[in-house]
Chain A
Amino acid sequence: MRKKLTGILAGMALTLASGTSVYAQELTIFWAEWDPANYLQELVNIYEAETGVKVTVETTPWSDFQTKAFTEFNAKGSAYDMVVGDSQWIGAASEAGHYVDLTDFFNKHNLNEVMAPATVKYYAEYPSNSGKYWSIPAEGDAVGWSYRKDWFEDPTEMANFKAKYGYDLAPPATWAQMRDIAEFFHRPDQNRYGIAIYTDNSYDGLVMGVENAIFSYGGELGDYATYKVDGIINSEQNVKALEMYRELYGFTPPGWAKTFFVENNQAITENLAAMSMNYFAFFPALVNEASNPNAKGTGFFANPAGPDGHQFAALGGQGISVVSYSQNQEESMKFLEWFIKDETQKKWAELGGYTASAKVLESPEFQNATPYNKAFYETMFKVKDFWATPEYAELLIQMNQRIYPYITAGQGTAKEALDNLAGDWNATFKKYNRH
């Protein structure tokens, strides 16, 4: 017994003391815990096989991703060589010097043309139109929709829908149609509901969801170059868009007040909703019968257009940046050179990653690989994003504070919520001398 105990203690002591690595060269990429990170791990395994450099994709839950990354940056930590960071971070991370300037690398490899334009604009460039680049578009993503094809194609449903609304039941082309369909399928007594939307306000879930309405209604969040928000964030279109979102909330399953990608996928697999908003990155789980019993009856469509025909979606996705405090910057650049190669990007897409490479996106192989890739390709050329200024988080939280009570509890009006928000944002920009 005593011997055993000594053994355990010795083992613990050894673990406490050790920590050195056996690899000559290692690189660590930091990302959130989700499938694309696993796909990336598979991709970098190929790099290891080719070069002998071991690359590890380290992950943390989405809810802690931002906190963990910035705590590390702020302390000038060298734990991560590269980070696949959210598009909104780019302002904060570049102004504070956390990211290595990749402008030369970008121009040398002509990435402006290699990568899809929206990904360059939102993942890589900061400030807007400055020609300075801080990351390589890695995982393209945007919001799309999944829907219950089996419900939509049911003859009785189709006939009833046509009788009630006067047009054919099909994936919606506009937000107004989407509202009708949501209303049509909303049958609480049958435990069936119209639509699943994002409502989680603990970070960017709700705001991303609302953006899909705002952008498609022809609205904007503000002028990202001049920081003007009055008359833009509280514009007529935005009020309409917000009212629409509030109306859709009425057709969500019960308890739909803190929902994001996980809940929205569940809405499809658990037979809760007819349509569900989600990032394309979360769709693989919906096409596999082992994880989604309704896989055969699940379809996908791109974010519908607004009343004036505008059609935009909220951008997700991330670019890969080199951390300024990394001690392996040269090796990291070598890795990036490998990463942007056409064949690497092609392989990346095959593994399940959403490449941002324009060439791969346009290829028929890519577009036919899954039921949703086509919608993804179309969406990636019409995406818009939230503010990327260093104080974006304050703007985000203010927006949550103003619109959440209106959308989920019907407090006040859309106009009041957005007017107040314009006031908050103005005050924040004033505080940071942005005007």
Chain B
Amino acid sequence: MATAVMTTLDPRSRAAARGMSDISIRNLFIIPTILFLIVFNIFPLLYSLGYSFTDFRASGNAAANFVGLQNYRTLLNDPFIWNNFVITAKYVVVSVIGQVVVGFGTAMLLNRDIPLKGLITTLLLLPMMLSMAVVGLFWKLLYDPSFGIINYALGLGKFEWLSNPDMALYAVALTDIWMWSPFVMLLSLAGLSAVPKHLYEAAAIDRAGPLYTFFRITLPLVAPILMIAVIFRTMEAFKTFDLAYILTSQPTTEVISIRLYKMAFQEWQTGLSCALAYIVLIMVLAITNIYVKYLNKVKER
């Protein structure tokens, strides 16, 4: 890895003569980080890759047996697991779209002459500063049909947010939207405030309608940063565990991380769970890769 980054520098560089050379500075700046990430990410990853081909159980002392692709076959033939993936996909789509709509919408509103903008922005960020576990606990109480204030405030009577199998996943997503829309809002706001004003003025002179202005000027210019928000939120939503685990225990809300957790830390099927983790990882990698390719394309425009 260290030699791979070695390459010739900009010939106009003047630093070579004094102090450290640019090459050594570059290596000094980059290599420690890469090495650090390799040790703390790649090593455990290889470790679990190895386990994923065995019947290893971390709870016992029995030696691990090599079982080839058996774990992967078992998982892909398990209807419960497929169901977990479908649930996860649904959850990711609902919560990420929700966050983008709410977050971006709020940013559009805030991108005007609003008094106390700085304070309001900071206040809006409060939900994402809480820990997931705490958010889960309190929202479980908020949703409670008997003493939750959501039903009281909305006049919904005894509406069962979390124990209705068809509603529960959306209730979890709603909590996630509450918690993380501010993140999307912050990024969108940064993007919006960087759109040059003269573009809007030009559009106004051309008597362009608000829709035209939005789709032709605002959106394309904010798209790159919005994409980044979407990438990070998708990755996190795919990994969602605490929220869904604490809020409900419906089979309809068993996202893949919950299954993974149970397999790894309740059943202690270490080998099998490592295989499942790899399937998850490959999916996240694939999705993120598509996003990043798209992001680069958007940036070039």
Residues of A within 8 A of B (CB): 66-67, 70-71, 73-74, 92, 95-97, 188, 191, 200-203, 253-258, 270, 272, 390-391, 393-394, 396-397, 401, 404-405, 408-409
Contact = CB atoms under 8 A, between A and B. Distances in A.
A394 B249 contact: no
A257 B162 contact: yes
A191 B158 CA distance: 10
13 contacts: A66-B265, A66-B266, A71-B265, A74-B59, A92-B60, A202-B249, A255-B143, A255-B145, A257-B250, A272-B146, A391-B267, A393-B266, A394-B269
A1 B265 CA distance: 47
In order of increasing CB-CB distance, the 6 nearest A-B pairs are A257-B163, A254-B145, A255-B145, A96-B60, A254-B158, A67-B265
Contacts of B250: 257-258, 408
Nearest to B259: A397
B59 A73 contact: yes
B144 A255 contact: yes
A169 to B, nearest CB: 24
Contacts of B61: 96-97
B160 interface: yes
A401 B259 CA distance: 11
B284 interface: no
Contact of B248 (A92, A97, A258): A258
Q: Determine the main DSSP class of B at the interface with A.
A: loop
Contacts of B98: none
Contacts of A393: 262, 266-268
A70 B266 CA distance: 9
Contacts of A71: 265
Nearest to A394: B267
Nearest to B62: A96
Nearest to B168: A257
A352 B260 CA distance: 38
A254 B147 CA distance: 11
Contacts of B146: 191, 253-255, 270, 272
A92 B59 contact: yes
A270 B145 CA distance: 13
Contact of A200 (B58, B249, B266): B249
A74 B80 CA distance: 28
A408 B160 CA distance: 12
B163 A408 contact: yes
Contacts of B58: 70, 74
Contacts of A67: 265-266
Interface string B238-253: 0000000101111100
A92 B61 CA distance: 10
B266 A257 contact: no
B165 interface: yes
Given A394-B267, A397-B262, 14 more contacts: A67-B265, A70-B268, A92-B268, A203-B266, A254-B146, A254-B163, A255-B145, A257-B248, A258-B163, A390-B60, A393-B262, A394-B269, A405-B165, A408-B165
Interface string B146-190: 110000000000101111010000000000000000000000000
Contacts of B269: 394
Contacts of B59: 70, 73-74, 92, 96, 390
Interface string B123-135: 0000000000000
B189 to A, nearest CB: 32
Nearest to A391: B267
A347 to B, nearest CB: 35
A189 to B, nearest CB: 10
